[in-house]
Structure 1
C-alpha cells in the first residue's frame, strides 16, 4: 500500500513537470534585465541622443550610478507624434512581455524631464515592426507625471517579441528623458507565427457573438498570416463562451472559432511556424465543449511536419475521446510522437456546428515554463549570472545538462520517498493525541497573538500626533504597518507569489497577526478570528468570535461516507484547495431531515477540499472554518451539512443552491416598470425572466437578515457581494463564501503589490488604505451589493473608473473634501432608499454607518 502511494506521488510530480507548458501571464512578470544589468549596453540603442551623457545605455530603470545624466534623452522632438524617436531594447531571444515600467530623469535634482505619454513597437525578427495597442485599439500609454516615480503598465494584451521600442509622445518643444524596464519571461514555445482562417460570427438567440482573433498582430485578410494573437496570449476561455475573462468585452471574445458551414472539407487548417527545427513532444489545444449551443471539441487532428521546403507525407493522426457529459472547456493534448520540424500544419475536423479554440501551446524537448519559482523582487541583483536567471532557457540539446537533470530528479524522488516514510511514522504517533489538545494549543496561541497585537497598536497610538505634510494623509486612525497611500497602491509591482485563481491574503492588521511564517490566510475565508472594536479606544484588537461559538456539545460535524460523493463540476480553486459540485447519495437520510428546497436524491452539494500537501497553518484554518460554520444556523446563511476528515483530503460539505450565484441570476433578468409590478409577478410565476422592484428589495432583505445574524456573532464577512450569495427555489437567498474565486469573477479583484487580490470596488476606504475590516466595512459592501441588485448586475460598480482610479477615489473619501465619487442612483431606486440607506452605508465615518439591524428594519419598512 505504501509503495503504491509512493508511486502515485512520483507520478504526480512528473505530471506537474509536463503540464505547465503554456505561459501564465500572472506569473510571467520577471524583470528582464534593464535594471539588473543582464541586458548589455550593446543591446540598448536609440534613434538619437541629446548628448553623449544621455545615450541609450543610460535608459535603465531605477539605475543612476553617477555615470552620465541618469537617463536616455532623445534629440529635440521633431514631431508631436514621436514616431521617429525611440529607445530600443534587444532581448536576444523571443520573450513573453506582460509589463513595462518607465521613469524620468532626476540626476540628483539637476533634471526634471520625463515622458508623459509613449507608444510601443515590437518585432520578432528585427525587420517587421508592429505597433502595440490595447484590447480596445488604443495605442498611447499614459506615462510619468514626475521624474521620480516608477510607473508600471500592464500590457493587455501581452506581446511576444525580441525587439521592443519605447517611443515618447510629447510636445515638440519639450525635452523628454526615459528610463525603462521590461517584465515577462522567455518564450519557450519557439512559435513565431500561426496562420488560421479568420474567425466567424455566431448569432445566438438574437445576440451577436464574435469569434475573431481581435489582437492578431500579423496580416489580416481571409486568412490570418505571419502573426500571433489570442491563441498565444495565455488567457484560457471560460466554459460558457458568451462570457469573457476580460471585463466589458463582447461575447465570444476569448475564443477564435469557425462554423463548419464555411468548410466543405469538414476541417480547419492551421499552420504553425517556429524559430528553428525542434523535436516536438505534444501540442495542447484549449477547446470549448458547450455542445448545448452547438460548440464541441474537435473530432480528429491530423498534423503534418516540415523541416525544409516540403511537407512530409505521413501525418500524426489523433482522435480524442468524445465527452458527451461535461460541457466544460478543457485542454486536449495531441501527442506529436517526437517528430522533428520547423513548421507544423494541423487539420482540425469538426464534430459539431462550431469549433472554438482559445489557446495553443507546444512542448518540444524539455522546454517548459518555470512558473513554480518564487518571483524576484523588483530588479535582479547586478551580479546574477545568466544561469541563475529564472527566465533563462536551458538548452535541451546539451546532453550533459540532460544527464544532470535526470540525476537531480532521481535524487529528489529518493528524498521525497524518505520524507513520505518519515511523515507516515510521525502521523501514526500524532494520531494518539486528542483533538482537544490541539484546540487548547490553538486557543493559547491566539491569546498570545492577541496580546502582542494589542501591544503593537497601543505603541502606534501613543507615537502618533502632530501635523503631516501635504503628501501624507493625516493620521486620524491608528495605522497598521502595511498602511498604503493610493499612489503607492497603484504601483502594481511584478513580484507575485501566488496564483490568481484564488483570493489572495488579506492586507488587514488581522492577517498580519495571524499569518505566521507560512503566509497570511486567504482573504475572505471564514476562519475563527474576527475584528472587534475596543470599548475604551479606537484601536482594534484580535479576539476570538464569541465564546458561545465554542460552547456546546456539537463541536464536530458527523462524518459523511466519501464513496457516496460523486463529482460533477469544479466551481473554484484556491492555493490550498478546491470547491466541487457533487452529488451526495443518501444525504437526506444521513441528516435525518429534509433540506429546504431539495427533496430529490441524490442531493446536489458543494464540497470544499483541502489539498493533501497543504501546510499546517492551512490545515488548522480549515478545521477552524469547519468549527465555526458548524454553529452557523440561519435561513439566509449557507449551511454546513457534513464533513469528511477521517482521511486526506479534508472535506466540508455545504448546501448547493440550484439557481447558482445571485450575480448571474440577476444578469439573466430584466426589470419591470413599477406600474406593471402585478403583471411582473405573474410572469415570474410563469418562469419568465422578469423582476419587480419589490422582489429585488425582498432579496436585499434576506441578505440583510443573514448579515444581521453574522454581526450578532461579531463575525466579519469581508467579501460581501452578489457573487457570494446563492439563489435557491422561490428566490431564497443565502450568503456564502468558499474563500476561493471563480474565473468568471477574476475581473472583480485587483492585485496590490503582489501581496493581495482584493475586491476594491466593494471595499470601504478604510479597508483599502488602513487594512481595517469590521462590521462597518461589511455595511459599506452591503451598500454596493444593494446597488448591484437594483441594477440587475448589468455593470460592474464604478465601471466608468479604472482600478487605479477606484483606489484614488478612496483617497478622496479620506480627505473628505467633497471630491469623492459615489455610485449613481439606480433608475428603479426611490430617492429615499438611495439617500437614506445606500449613501449612509458609504459614510466616511464608520461609526455613523447604520447597523445591519437598522438596515434590515429600513428595508422591511420600504416594502410595506
Structure 2
C-alpha cells in the first residue's frame, strides 16, 4: 500500500512539474552531469587542446579523487589574459545555473596544473554570447589554489543558458588545466528573453532609490531588449523596497520599477519571448504594495499573444483585487486562459505613482494542436507550405512517450528502494545494537576479512553510493571543499548483522522520524533528547517540578509595535526576523538584565511559523514556547513575549547587538604579548583584538549555560559558535538560529536526502547511531571551544571533506588509534587541550566530563 501511495505522489509531482516555473536558487543546486557522465562527450568542446590526452571530454570534475590525471588543457595561450581559450558545455536545453565547480590536474601528485582565475560566458541560442558578472560588476572568478581540491563558486546572479564556456585567465606562469561541473536545474519557464522599459529613479526623503534592472544581460538603451535579468533571478523583493535581500546593495535593488509620470500612456509594456509555442495557464508577478510611499500593485493587466509574426487581436484582461490594507509584497496570479503562443505582450496599468516588480514567472505546457473549435479559436500566421500541426504533434508524441517511460522507470526504482530500505534498516538496527556491546571491538577484528566482500556487494546492490543528481550543494560561503564521495558504509556494520541477538534498537545514520521530517529541519534550542532506554527518539521524562513557581503563561505582545529590520534566516516551517520592539521594557521580568533596557526600542529576534504549516508543526511551535518560557539562565537566550492571538504565530526572544559569536570572532585578532603595550587609541584605529582570557571567559559562559540545560535534562544537539549570541562586554547567550541562516548552510550535511546534520560538531555515536545525549553535547562543546580559540578562522576539520569527516567517525568506532582529532590551537595551553578538549572527544561517552566539571576546569584555568 505504501508503494502505491508513493507511486501516486510521484505521478502527481511529475505532472505538477510540467507547469511549475518558479525557481528557488537555494534548492536549484543539482549537478547537471559533468561528473556523472549524463552530459555526453559530444556535448563538451573546446577552443583548443594541449594534447590528445587533454581534450575537452576529459574536463569533467573528478569527485573520486583518483590519480588526478586527465583534464582539459588548452594549447599555449597566445593572448595575455587567455580569453580566446574556452571549455564549452552544451546542456541541450535551457537550465537555471546557480553554482559552478572547478578542479585542476595533479596526475597523482606529479602535476601542478590548474586555473587560478577564470571567466564565464553563456548563451541561450548558441549565437549570442554574454559574459557573466556578479552583482557588483566583477567578471573574474577566483578559482583553484591547488590541483586536487574542488572549489565551488555561487553564481550571483544565477544564469539561464543552454551553452556555458569556462575561460581561464592566466599570466602564463603555469600550464592551465580545468575540470568543471555545473549545478542548477532545468529552466521550465522556457522564457528566452523579456523586453521592458528601463527602470526609473525615485528620490525618497533625500535618499536616491534606483529601480533599474542591474543584472540584465541583453541590450540596454531606453528599453531593455533580448535579455533576462532581475525579473527571472529567483530573488523576491522585500516588503520594504528600501531594503534588499542582497547585502550591501543600494536601496531599491530588489525591484525593477517605473514612475507613472514618466510613462504618459499610463502603463508599462513588457514583451516575453519563449523557446517554442506553449500553452499558457497563468503568469505570476511579484509586486510591491507599499502604498504609504506611493507604490501599489498594478490595476489591470492586458496580455496579447503571438504564435507567428502578428499579435492576435483578442487579448486577455485581468484585474486583481485592490488591497488597501496590507502593504506586504506578494505574488499576483494573472490567468492567461490556456492561450497558445511563443510570445506574450502584457501591459500593466498603474494604480498609483509607482509600480515595482521583482519577479515574473509563467505556468505553461507544450502546445498540442488539433482540429477542435477550441484549438482553432486563435489562428496563427503560417508561411506557405509549412505545416506546424504535424511538427508539433510528432514532437509532443515523442515527449509524451519519453515522459511515460521516465515515470515507469522512476516508479520501479521507488519500489525497489522502498523494499530495500525495509531490509537495510533492520540490518542497521541490529548493527547499532551490536555497537553497544563492550566486547564488539575484539570480535570485529576477527570478522573483518570474512565479511568485507559481503559488504561490498551490499553497498553496490543497495545503491547506497550517491547518484549526484539528487544531492544538492549548500556552500558555506563563496567556496568550500566538495565531498570526494558520499559516505562509504563501514565494513563492520555489514559484519555485525550476522551475530546479533535481540536487544535495544537505535536508528542508524540519524534517520528521520516517523513523519519523515529530518531531525535538523529546524534546530530548536530545546531539542528534546532521545531516551536511552527507548527504541525510538522520544521526549525524555523531564521533572516538571523543576519549574515550580515559574510563570509559564507568556504575555501577548502587540504586533504593530514590531518593526522589521532584516531576515536572519528561514527553516522548513518558518522564518527568523531581526526586529525592533517598541515598549518591550514593560514585558521584561525584573530578573532579566537586558541591553537597551530604557525607553528606546529593543532589538529582538522574532521566530514566526508560516500560516500554511501543518498541525504537527503548530503543536511543536507551541510546545517550544511553553518550554522556553520556563528557562531562566543568564547564558540562555530568553523568551520575552509571544504573538499567538492570530496567524502567523510568533515568539519573541532576546537578540544581542553584536550578532552571533562565529561572525564576531572572525573579525578579531588575538592579542599577543607584543600587543600589550598598544594604547587603546591604537587598537581602535587598527584591527580589533581580543585576549586569550577573554576567549576563555566566553567559553565559561557557554559551559555555564549548558550546565543549566543539562541540569534540566535538555539536549541542545546543535551547539556551535553560530548558535551563540554576543552582547556588550563579551556577554554570551546560547541560541538556536544557526540552521535557519543561509550563511551557515555549509555547516550542515545532507545524508542521502534524509537528514541534515552538523557533522563537524557531532560525536561519532550521533552520526552513526543517531544517538543524542548530554555527552554528545559535551563533544560539540569541545569543537565549539576549538572554534573560539581559533577565532573561527577555519571550519572544523577544514582539511577533510564531509565524507572523510564521517569516515573518521568509523575510526572512533574501531578504536584502533587512527582517528583524527582537531589540532591544538596556537594560543591554547597544553593543559586545556589535553585535559579538557581531548576529554570531550573520548570514544566512551561515559568517560567524557560533565558540563559542571567543564565549567569548573575552565574557571580554574582563568585563575
CA displacement 1:630-671 (0-9 Å, x = unmatched) = 644689989889999999999999999999999999999999
Greater CA drift, 505-514 or 59-68: 505-514
SS class of match (2:793)? coil
Greater CA drift, 539-548 or 667-676: 667-676
What is the CA–CA distance in structure 2 between the aligned matches of 1:21 and 1:500, rounded to whole Å?
A: 46
Contact in 2 for aligned 1:306/1:312 (Cα 8 Å): yes
Partner of 1:324: 324
Shift in Å at residue 135 of structure 1?
Answer: 1.4
Contact in 1 for aligned 2:583/2:599 (Cα 8 Å): no
Q: Judging changes above 3 Å, is the alpha-carbon distance between structure 1 residues 529 and 178 closer, same or farther for their aligned structure 2 residues? A: same
Shift in Å at residue 164 of structure 1?
Answer: 1.0
**Counterpart among 404, 407, 413 of residue 406 in structure 1:** 404
CA displacement 1:721-770 (0-9 Å, x = unmatched) = 99999999999999986898489999999999989889999999999999
Shift in Å at residue 189 of structure 1?
Answer: 1.2
What is the CA–CA distance in structure 1 between the aligned matches of 2:394 and 2:463, rounded to whole Å?
A: 62
Greater CA drift, 663-672 or 749-758: 663-672
Count of residues paired in the alignment: 861
Contact in 1 for aligned 2:100/2:155 (Cα 8 Å): yes
Partner of 2:503: 506
What is the CA–CA distance in structure 2 between the aligned matches of 1:676 and 1:557, rounded to whole Å?
A: 48
What is the CA–CA distance in structure 2 between the aligned matches of 1:671 and 1:201, rounded to whole Å?
A: 46
Q: Judging changes above 3 Å, is the alpha-carbon distance between structure 1 residues 351 and 144 closer, same or farther for their aligned structure 2 residues? A: same
Q: Judging changes above 3 Å, is the alpha-carbon distance between structure 1 residues 504 and 732 closer, same or farther for their aligned structure 2 residues? A: farther
What is the CA–CA distance in structure 2 between the aligned matches of 1:160 and 1:574, rounded to whole Å?
A: 27
Shift in Å at residue 9 of structure 1?
Answer: 12
Greater CA drift, 477-486 or 120-129: 477-486
Contact in 2 for aligned 1:246/1:747 (Cα 8 Å): no
Shift in Å at residue 196 of structure 1?
Answer: 1.1
1:682-831 equivalences under 5 Å are: 713=712, 715=714, 741=740
Q: Judging changes above 3 Å, is the alpha-carbon distance between structure 1 residues 522 and 660 closer, same or farther for their aligned structure 2 residues? A: same
What is the CA–CA distance in structure 2 between the aligned matches of 1:470 and 1:10, rounded to whole Å?
A: 18
Shift in Å at residue 219 of structure 1?
Answer: 1.1
Q: Judging changes above 3 Å, is the alpha-carbon distance between structure 1 residues 611 and 849 closer, same or farther for their aligned structure 2 residues? A: same
Unaligned runs of 5+ in 1: none
SS class of match (2:633)? coil
Shift in Å at residue 330 of structure 1?
Answer: 1.2
Greater CA drift, 523-532 or 53-62: 523-532
Shift in Å at residue 335 of structure 1?
Answer: 0.9
SS class of match (1:365)? strand
Greater CA drift, 666-675 or 799-808: 666-675
Shift in Å at residue 131 of structure 1?
Answer: 0.8
**Counterpart among 518, 531, 550 of residue 515 in structure 2:** 518
What is the CA–CA distance in structure 1 between the aligned matches of 2:137 and 2:856, rounded to whole Å?
A: 49
SS class of match (1:517)? coil
SS class of match (2:195)? strand
SS class of match (2:529)? strand
SS class of match (1:310)? coil
Greater CA drift, 91-100 or 724-733: 724-733
Q: Judging changes above 3 Å, is the alpha-carbon distance between structure 1 residues 505 and 185 closer, same or farther for their aligned structure 2 residues? A: farther
Contact in 2 for aligned 1:454/1:542 (Cα 8 Å): no
Q: Judging changes above 3 Å, is the alpha-carbon distance between structure 1 residues 80 and 233 closer, same or farther for their aligned structure 2 residues? A: same
Shift in Å at residue 302 of structure 1?
Answer: 0.9
What is the CA–CA distance in structure 1 between the aligned matches of 2:600 and 2:105, rounded to whole Å?
A: 70
Unaligned runs of 5+ in 2: none
Does residue 28 of structure 1 match 2:28? yes
Contact in 1 for aligned 2:448/2:495 (Cα 8 Å): no
Greater CA drift, 787-796 or 669-678: 669-678
Shift in Å at residue 254 of structure 1?
Answer: 1.5
CA displacement 1:443-470 (0-9 Å, x = unmatched) = 99999999999999999999x9999999
Partner of 1:200: 200
Q: Judging changes above 3 Å, is the alpha-carbon distance between structure 1 residues 393 and 215 closer, same or farther for their aligned structure 2 residues? A: farther
Q: Judging changes above 3 Å, is the alpha-carbon distance between structure 1 residues 371 and 183 closer, same or farther for their aligned structure 2 residues? A: farther
Shift in Å at residue 84 of structure 1?
Answer: 0.9
CA displacement 1:652-696 (0-9 Å, x = unmatched) = 999999999999999999999999999999999999999999999
Contact in 2 for aligned 1:270/1:346 (Cα 8 Å): yes
Shift in Å at residue 255 of structure 1?
Answer: 1.2
Contact in 2 for aligned 1:103/1:179 (Cα 8 Å): yes
Shift in Å at residue 557 of structure 1?
Answer: 12
SS class of match (1:433)? helix
1:150-189 equivalences under 5 Å are: 150-189=150-189
Shift in Å at residue 291 of structure 1?
Answer: 1.9
Q: Judging changes above 3 Å, is the alpha-carbon distance between structure 1 residues 595 and 233 closer, same or farther for their aligned structure 2 residues? A: closer
Q: Judging changes above 3 Å, is the alpha-carbon distance between structure 1 residues 74 and 288 closer, same or farther for their aligned structure 2 residues? A: same
Q: Judging changes above 3 Å, is the alpha-carbon distance between structure 1 residues 634 and 190 closer, same or farther for their aligned structure 2 residues? A: same
Greater CA drift, 441-450 or 758-767: 441-450
Q: Judging changes above 3 Å, is the alpha-carbon distance between structure 1 residues 199 and 558 closer, same or farther for their aligned structure 2 residues? A: closer
Contact in 2 for aligned 1:297/1:355 (Cα 8 Å): yes
SS class of match (1:793)? coil
Contact in 2 for aligned 1:790/1:826 (Cα 8 Å): yes
CA displacement 1:345-369 (0-9 Å, x = unmatched) = 1111111222111111111227999
Greater CA drift, 209-218 or 243-252: 243-252
CA displacement 1:75-120 (0-9 Å, x = unmatched) = 1111231111111112222111112222222445554422222111
Shift in Å at residue 147 of structure 1?
Answer: 2.5
What is the CA–CA distance in structure 1 between the aligned matches of 2:500 and 2:324, rounded to whole Å?
A: 32
CA displacement 1:144-190 (0-9 Å, x = unmatched) = 22322222222111111111111111122532222222222221211
Shift in Å at residue 301 of structure 1?
Answer: 0.7
TM-score under structure 1 normalisation?
0.58
CA displacement 1:7-62 (0-9 Å, x = unmatched) = 99999999976884211222222222222333222222111111222222222222
Greater CA drift, 314-323 or 619-628: 619-628
Greater CA drift, 298-307 or 109-118: 109-118
Shift in Å at residue 242 of structure 1?
Answer: 2.2
SS class of match (1:496)? helix
What do you get for the CA RMSD once the two structures are aligned? 13.5
Contact in 1 for aligned 2:566/2:579 (Cα 8 Å): yes
Contact in 1 for aligned 2:575/2:740 (Cα 8 Å): no
What is the CA–CA distance in structure 2 between the aligned matches of 1:454 and 1:626, rounded to whole Å?
A: 49
Contact in 2 for aligned 1:573/1:742 (Cα 8 Å): yes
What is the CA–CA distance in structure 2 between the aligned matches of 1:748 and 1:280, rounded to whole Å?
A: 41
Q: Judging changes above 3 Å, is the alpha-carbon distance between structure 1 residues 345 and 846 closer, same or farther for their aligned structure 2 residues? A: farther
Shift in Å at residue 232 of structure 1?
Answer: 0.7
What is the CA–CA distance in structure 2 between the aligned matches of 1:402 and 1:475, rounded to whole Å?
A: 28
Shift in Å at residue 332 of structure 1?
Answer: 0.8
Q: Judging changes above 3 Å, is the alpha-carbon distance between structure 1 residues 415 and 188 closer, same or farther for their aligned structure 2 residues? A: closer
Contact in 1 for aligned 2:540/2:713 (Cα 8 Å): no
SS class of match (2:356)? strand
